[in-house]
Chains A and B, each alone.
Chain A
Amino acid sequence: MLTIADKTFHSRLFTGTGKFKNSQTMAEAIKASESELVTMALKRVNLNDDQDDILSPLTKAGVNLLPNTSGARNAKEAVYAAQLAREALQTHWLKLEIHPDPKYLLPDPIETLKACEKLVEMGFTVLPYVHADPVLCKRLEEAGASAVMPLGAPIGSNLGLKTEEFLNIIIEQSQVPVVVDAGIGSPSDAAKAMEIGADAVLVNTAIAVSNDPVAMGTAFKEAVIAGRRAYEAGLGIRSHQAHASSPLTAFLEDF
């Protein structure tokens, strides 16, 4: 069981709702993943547009919603987006993300820390999306973040855990849950993150853009369970030399 702030989760796999071909596939994939916390974004309503209702299937599925502040380029915009998100989804949970540069979507650490301080003061449960920076993660923890969400690689890149060495340091030092977010491209990446001791992973693109998102949702669920179980069991020590696992007795020597 994983506890973040006031909620407890059976599943350590969090999922996103973006990039699915339709909301039915999204709902089925999330169901298959058994994720209990899913991210959502905000957009301006287009008055001439048709209704695009993704909220109903998620409400029906009974999952917890984690609105994000995607689109915010600085702390001020993020605080405004957070308040709108709280109104729209009636939750004080928030994935704080501030990425001013659309090419790499890398999070702005200074604005994120500023916004986190303010939002915690305002009563939000803040889960900041950040680079895998151990110092920043400690500062966010001190500012009252309920978890930290360091990236494995740029959003949607499917590159895997490029930041692994830094994730190790973050995991070792953190007093709040560590959720590896962004870049996880395959179930093996998710399993790896869990094996090194992450408390959870957040996966969106890798599930949504798969040929079969429902099957991929299941694959991620299983990988996260396997990775966590391996972490709890304790992995063996790595070595550059062989260590025999069969007895090297000399019974063939008289042959």
Chain B
Amino acid sequence: MQFFVNDQPLSSEASLTLEQLLEQINQTDKGVALAINRQIVSRSRWPCKRIEEGDRITLIKATAGG
């Protein structure tokens, strides 16, 4: 299965939940939010929401700013 995180192609043999994905790419910090195909998925749904073929995931985090 192939999908994209911030336009970078990633692939996985197994079906992945969002929570598993974030663990794999080492993004388990607080201050992170994500959307699949521009639909925001709230944190409470990360353990059960599965990534599908071709999904475009936007992963953002809080950073310094004025």
Contacts and interface: CB of A to CB of B under 8 A. Distances in A.
A88 B65 contact: no
Nearest to A204: B66
A43 B66 contact: no
A230 interface: no
A26 interface: yes
A68 B64 CA distance: 10
Given A40-B63, A55-B29, A155-B66, A87 B5 contact: no
Given A44-B6, A46-B6, A55-B30, A87 B40 contact: yes
A82 to B, nearest CB: 10
Number of chain B interface residues as a range: 20 to 34
Contacts of A84: 33-35, 40, 58, 60
B11 to A, nearest CB: 14
Contacts of B62: 40-42, 54-55, 65, 67, 85, 88-89
18 contacts: A16-B66, A18-B64, A42-B33, A42-B61, A43-B60, A44-B6, A44-B58, A45-B6, A45-B61, A51-B29, A54-B62, A68-B66, A70-B66, A84-B34, A84-B58, A87-B42, A88-B31, A202-B66
Interface of B: 5-6, 8, 25, 27, 29-35, 38, 40, 42-43, 58-66
Given A19-B66, A88-B61, 4 more contacts: A17-B65, A18-B65, A47-B8, A55-B62
